[in-house]
Amino acid sequence: MLHAVVIAGGYGSRLWPLSRELHPKQFIPLVKENISMLQDTCQRLKGVEMAPPLIICNEQHRFLAAEQLRQIGLEQSNIILEPEGRNTAPAIALAALNLCNQEEDPILLVLAADHFIQDINAFQGALNTAVAHAVAGKLVTFGIVPIKPETGYGYIKQGKSIGESGFLVDAFVEKPDISTAETYVAGGLHYWNSGMFMFRAKRYLEELEIFRPDILEACRLSLSKGAQDLYFTRVDKEAFLECPDESIDYAVMEHTDQAVMVTLDAGWCDVGSWSALWELGSKDEWGNVSKGDVICEATSDSYIHSDHRLVATLGVKDLVIVETKDAVLIADKSCAQDVKTLISRLKSSGRNEHVNHREVYRPWGVYDSVDAGHRYQVKRITVKPGAKLSVQMHHHRAEHWIVVSGTAKVTNGEKVYLVTENQSTFIPIGQVHALENPGVIPLELIEVQSGSYLGENDIVRFEDKYGRV
């Protein structure tokens, strides 16, 4: 049986301010409307006979991943949680070990959650070609037919042909300079390294045992000491953090003599920067890609994204402009790969705009931090039907809840009561409380916090249906 392993870690910092640490690019609809990159990756597999995908993501993103899978009918998918990213070699080892506990020797199709592919038929055709090589014990990598000299990707050099539409891998090559990239493309023997793979689970583990037994041992130990939590597989944090940080390319593929490349010409893009999104986007007659409420005048070859307000441009070209509720990015398109330097500045200055959006997603719904000042904070909270916030208390803040729409079931100390539209209730400092939506429509309310400290870590949880500590 073929099993898709979708790696959904990483933070996508080059796509800030849309991509944040707690809501990174793989969970955002970047290319297609209302479909996140993760959802698009999973839906790309429709029509291929395989088991539900196995997702590997950071523990912080577990509810985002679970909810997005539920939305596309894949709630039965298993999700392996990493307490901290350790790159692709350990992530794939966790998946291989996990699936070998369920099936004798499954074939793994390893995909990144944040890639875009235009031609689904060509993609699935390449998968069919790769299966024969994987069954024969080869470690298959997919080489992208290059459409231009690209310095942002690694390359795979083609060796002699093997079987149907396959080639031995002659070499993996690091990201080149522009003149070297031009030579590669002109020569016709080099392909972009897609970071997608197919192989038998045990074959990969055997090669990892040869070249990086320390990675394999750490993954075995962390998985054996882990636990099942709802639909999540949690690995042991202490054991996993001892695992080296290494990509599958460095750990295995560059050393094995069993690597085979299958070529892929399907409109692939790793969506790694704003300039890449501009290239993918539908352009107007002046070469602009616009998303949201945008008016352009005397503007050309620019990418303009508006989330919440009108963005108007006049007399500019080759710009990236991205507006969110709490940040605006304006950059020359040629500098799109350097957004990480801004993230470093945000971190060093103690800001948190690289971590959270103003809107923060929780397993029960979402909250929007509308306003904040000295000793107060205002949030708009949306609770999904049937959802419940944890039973909790705060040492430093009181809360005042005003229901805008829907019905709230409130636990306030020993009292349990309903609060409906245009009604309010008060939660004193130190009071054990909970909020629940017993209705069939979303519960919308305004929360006004007041106190000496208003941080999210001033929460003492006594009970939580989502297993949060």
Compute mean pLDDT per 10 residues along the chain, 469 residues long, and list them.
94 94 94 95 94 94 92 91 95 97 93 96 95 95 94 93 87 93 93 96 97 97 90 93 95 95 95 94 96 97 96 98 96 91 93 89 92 94 96 97 98 97 97 97 97 92 85
In this structure, are residues 233 and 225 in contact, taking their beta carbons and an 8 Å threshold? no
Please name which of 247, 159, 154, 240 lies closest in space to residue 192, comparing C-alpha atoms: 154
In this structure, are residues 90 and 243 in contact, taking their beta carbons and an 8 Å threshold? yes
| pLDDT for residue 1 | 82
Exposure of 363 in the CB half-sphere (CA atoms within 13 A): 17
Measured distance CA(207)–CA(30) in Å, rounded: 36
Q: How far is CA 271 from CA 70, 219, 277, in A?
A: 24, 29, 6
Please name which of 248, 242, 61 lies closest in space to residue 154, comparing C-alpha atoms: 248
450, with CB counted inside 10 A (0-12, 13-18, 19+), is middle
Q: What residue spans define the domains of the chain?
A: 2-269, 282-348, 359-463
| pLDDT for residue 217 | 97
Residue located via tokens 């997608």: 196
| pLDDT for residue 274 | 95
| pLDDT for residue 424 | 97
Please name which of 240, 248, 268 lies closest in space to residue 199, comparing C-alpha atoms: 248
What sign has the CA pseudo-torsion 69, 3, 24, 296?
A: negative
Domain 359-463 homologous superfamily, CATH: Jelly Rolls (2.60.120.10)
Which CATH architecture does the domain made up of 2-269 adopt?
Alpha-Beta Complex (3.90)
- For residue 64, the SS3 value is helix
Say what the pTM is: 0.90
